[in-house]
């Protein structure tokens, strides 16, 4: 197949992973980059040998010459840039979090749908090797019908040194990290009908909440708990592992720290190492996330080529983003929030 040509907007901290990922993806290449910060534009342009460089996204779209755009900026610019892509009928990938509000996210889905262009949210955590392994084990029928789960991410890793903006916002862990954990809950147990949540801020140096506990009712009748913390110091730091406990009518699945998958049923227990691959450009402990960046970008290239909808399309991700909004609403009001009402 002919390589798809892509353009990337936002050459910051995380975009470097995306640029490495695109180098590995079969069927797509980045031909132009854009950042309003000239220093970041130069660093990424020089590192990845990209000649076409722009400080203004509108100018880059006007010049054209690419088949899709990959938006790797922080949340406040997402809506304007996605709508710009739609107005030029350019298929678009947008980093998480989708948008500042659910209303913005809905408008972005509507703009892309009206323009007839695919929109994928770069929701990469469900593409992590250990998470895919849990889904495969569940799909094999080994534990019967799932009725309960816990999706847990507890860490004291200093995310603020690489991403200082995370300390500044009124919202922190649910919007930044819990969004992934909520998406994993949907990926494993299906859509959610209602939730309730409690939050805390433990670290006095940041503005938003760094601990959240969320109770979810799934459409299939299962119950799950999503618990996330950046205030939890442990003997062995698990960042960035999501740990999973999943109980079914015929057995259970455990994804434990160190990337071990245990599947137990009447026949006994099998233990499998489901550690992610350390890609040539990756570094521990980020390699789990980095491999999933490559995986979701390969999925995008394959989906664009085949015309199939992506796993984390804008329409799909509205259902994850609604859980974020609902969790903040529930934490503020102490009420249970009906998800259908938000969508």
Q: Is 53 one of the binding residues for ligand NAD (CB under 6 A)?
A: no
Site string for ligand 89Y, 215-244 (x = CB under 6 A): -------------------------x----
Name the E strands within the chain.
Answer: 4-9, 28-34, 52-54, 68-71, 92-95, 119-122, 146-154, 192-200, 211-218, 223-229, 243-248, 251-256, 260-265, 268-273, 337-338
The count of chain residues that interact with ligand 89Y, using the rule CB under 6 A, is 6
Whose Cβ is closer to ligand 89Y: residue 97's or residue 146's? 97
Least Å distance between CB 172 and ligand 89Y? 9
152 vs 178: CA distance, rounded Å: 9
29 vs 6: CA distance, rounded Å: 6
| C-alpha gyration radius of the chain | 20
Using the rule CB under 6 A, give the single segment among 12-20, 138-146, 271-279, 317-325 that binds ligand NAD: 12-20
User: Which does residue 15 bind out of ligand NAD, ligand 89Y, none, counting CB within 5 to 8 angstroms by kind?
Assistant: ligand NAD
Whose Cβ is closer to ligand NAD: residue 13's or residue 281's? 13
Q: Is 159 one of the binding residues for ligand 89Y (CB under 6 A)?
A: yes
Using the rule CB under 6 A, give the single segment among 175-183, 206-214, 257-265, 308-316 that binds ligand 89Y: 175-183
User: Which does residue 159 bind out of ligand NAD, ligand 89Y, none, counting CB within 5 to 8 angstroms by kind?
Assistant: ligand 89Y
Q: Is 163 one of the binding residues for ligand NAD (CB under 6 A)?
A: yes
Residue 122, phi then psi, degrees to nearest 5: -75, 70
Residue from 67, 73, 82, 90 touching ligand NAD (CB under 6 A): that is 73
Whose Cβ is closer to ligand NAD: residue 14's or residue 294's? 14
Using the rule CB under 6 A, give the single segment among 75-83, 112-120, 172-180, 319-327 that binds ligand 89Y: 172-180
Picking from 196, 195, 229, the residue whose alpha carbon sits closest to that of residue 212 is 229
22 vs 200: CA distance, rounded Å: 38
Using the rule CB under 6 A, give the single segment among 11-19, 130-138, 149-157, 326-334 that binds ligand NAD: 11-19
Q: What burial class does residue 225 get, using C-beta atoms within 10 Å of its C-beta: 0-12 exposed, 13-18 middle, 19+ buried?
A: middle
Whose Cβ is closer to ligand 89Y: residue 163's or residue 194's? 163
Q: Which two tokens stand for residue 43?
A: 């660093």
User: Which does residue 177 bind out of ligand 89Y, ligand NAD, none, counting CB within 5 to 8 angstroms by kind?
Assistant: ligand 89Y
Q: Are 261 and 243 in contact (CB under 8 A)?
A: no
Whose Cβ is closer to ligand 89Y: residue 68's or residue 153's? 153
User: Which does residue 320 bind out of ligand 89Y, ligand NAD, none, counting CB within 5 to 8 angstroms by kind?
Assistant: none
Picking from 246, 257, 255, 252, the residue whose alpha carbon sits closest to that of residue 269 is 252
Q: Are 122 and 179 in contact (CB under 8 A)?
A: no
Q: Which two tokens stand for residue 255?
A: 């994804």
Whose Cβ is closer to ligand 89Y: residue 108's or residue 159's? 159
Q: Is 174 one of the binding residues for ligand NAD (CB under 6 A)?
A: no
Q: In this structure, are strands 211-218 and 192-200 parallel, antiparallel, or unpaired?
A: antiparallel
Positions 238 through 297 that interact with ligand NAD (CB under 6 A) = 289
93 vs 223: CA distance, rounded Å: 31
Q: Are 247 and 146 in contact (CB under 8 A)?
A: yes
Least Å distance between CB 140 and ligand 89Y? 29
Least Å distance between CB 73 and ligand NAD? 4
Q: Are 263 and 137 in contact (CB under 8 A)?
A: yes
Binding site for ligand 89Y (CB under 6 A): 159, 163, 176-177, 180, 240
């Amino acid at each position: 197949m002919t390589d798809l040509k892509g353009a990337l907007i936002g050459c910051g901290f995380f975009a470097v992973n995306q640029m490495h990922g695109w180098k590995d993806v079969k069927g797509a290449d980045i031909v132009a980059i854009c950042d309003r910060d000239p220093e970041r534009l130069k660093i990424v342009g020089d590192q990845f040998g990209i000649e076409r460089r722009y400080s203004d996204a509108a100018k880059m779209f006007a010049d054209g010459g690419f088949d899709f755009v990959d938006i790797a900026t922080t949340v406040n610019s997402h809506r304007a840039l996605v709508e710009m892509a739609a107005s030029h009928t350019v298929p678009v990938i947008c980093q998480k979090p989708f948008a500042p509000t659910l209303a913005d996210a809905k408008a972005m889905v509507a703009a892309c749908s009206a323009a007839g262009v695919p929109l994928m949210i770069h929701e990469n955590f469900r593409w992590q090797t250990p998470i895919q392994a849990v889904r495969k084990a569940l799909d094999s029928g080994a534990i019967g019908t799932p009725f309960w789960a816990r999706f847990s991410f507890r860490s004291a890793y200093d995310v603020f040194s690489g991403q200082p903006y995370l300390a500044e916002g009124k919202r922190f862990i649910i919007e930044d990290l819990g969004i992934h954990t909520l998406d994993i809950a949907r990926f494993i147990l299906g859509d959610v009908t209602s939730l309730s949540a409690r939050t805390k801020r433990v670290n006095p140096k940041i503005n938003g909440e760094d601990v959240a506990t969320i109770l979810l009712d799934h459409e299939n009748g299962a119950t799950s708990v999503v618990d996330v913390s950046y205030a939890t110091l442990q003997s062995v730091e698990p960042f960035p592992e999501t740990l999973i406990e999943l109980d079914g009518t015929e057995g259970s699945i455990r994804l434990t720290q160190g990337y071990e998958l245990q599947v137990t049923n009447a026949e006994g227990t099998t233990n499998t190492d489901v550690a992610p691959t350390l890609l040539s450009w990756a570094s521990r402990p980020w390699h789990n996330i980095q491999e999933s960046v490559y995986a979701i970008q390969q999925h995008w290239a394959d989906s664009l080529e085949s015309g199939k909808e992506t796993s984390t399309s804008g329409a799909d991700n509205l259902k994850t983003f609604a859980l974020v909004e609902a969790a903040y609403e529930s934490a503020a009001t102490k009420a249970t929030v009906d998800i259908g009402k938000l969508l």
